[in-house]
Chain A
Amino acid sequence: AQSVTQLGSHVSVSEGALVLLRCNYSSSVPPYLFWYVQYPNQGLQLLLKYTSAATLVKGINGFEAEFKKSETSFHLTKPSAHMSDAAEYFCAVQAQFYFGTGTSLTVIP
């Protein structure tokens, strides 16, 4: 069975500060992992995905994530937060059938 756990339902950072959103997965097989972003009243947009080609995955809008098998983690990071990054972020495992409960990111000016 596969599942994901997102630690922290709400994260606040100052503009320009590091963004770190945590995701841990559970999978009995090598996983495909995804991060999506959802802006208010909109659908989900793919930020990046891991498909075993490289452990460090770069996505859109300056986001990246590192797959760590030993820690069963796939945390999302961005070096410098921008006001436009404020949104809901979802981690998903395998063929996107399993989503985490989401982390709401607030960026403080």
Chain B
Amino acid sequence: DAGVTQSPTHLIKTRGQQVTLRCSPKSGHDTVSWYQQALGQGPQFIFQYYEEEERQRGNFPDRFSGHQFPNYSSELNVNALLLGDSALYLCASSARPGQGYTQYFGPGTRLTVL
């Protein structure tokens, strides 16, 4: 049973560019959440997708957008990259979006913005 997978593993971009990160949820899960983890910090919630719609959003600007596909996989897009966007981006999936449902995390994508 495959767990949560993310691609790519590492990514290097320059300021102003755009980036797309991808996530495939754990088998049987239909809810995907994205987190940003800066170096030495805890994960910060970006948004959650369920039934192909953004259900909840954290305190992130509109430069951060996402999408969920019919097969429940998801993308995170970041436009106009800033140096401060450099971080580990984590995807997590769960069986449902409600509270108490355990989230299973992928290994993350390390984004470096130069």
Contacts and interface: CB of A to CB of B under 8 A. Distances in A.
Given A44-B90, A90-B43, A100-B42, A49 B102 contact: yes
Interface stretch (A13-21, A63-71, A75-83, A91-99): A91-99
A72 interface: no
A44 B99 contact: no
Contact of B42 (A32, A41, A45, A101): A101
B43 A46 contact: no
A41 B9 CA distance: 10
B99 A43 contact: no
Given A97-B58, A100-B42, A43 B90 contact: yes
Contact of B105 (A32, A43, A97, A102): A43
**Interface footprint category on A:** 20 to 34
Nearest to B108: A43
Nearest to A9: B40
A95 B110 CA distance: 24
A26 interface: no
18 contacts: A32-B99, A32-B100, A41-B107, A42-B107, A42-B108, A44-B43, A44-B92, A49-B100, A51-B100, A90-B42, A90-B43, A95-B101, A96-B45, A97-B33, A97-B58, A99-B42, A99-B43, A100-B42
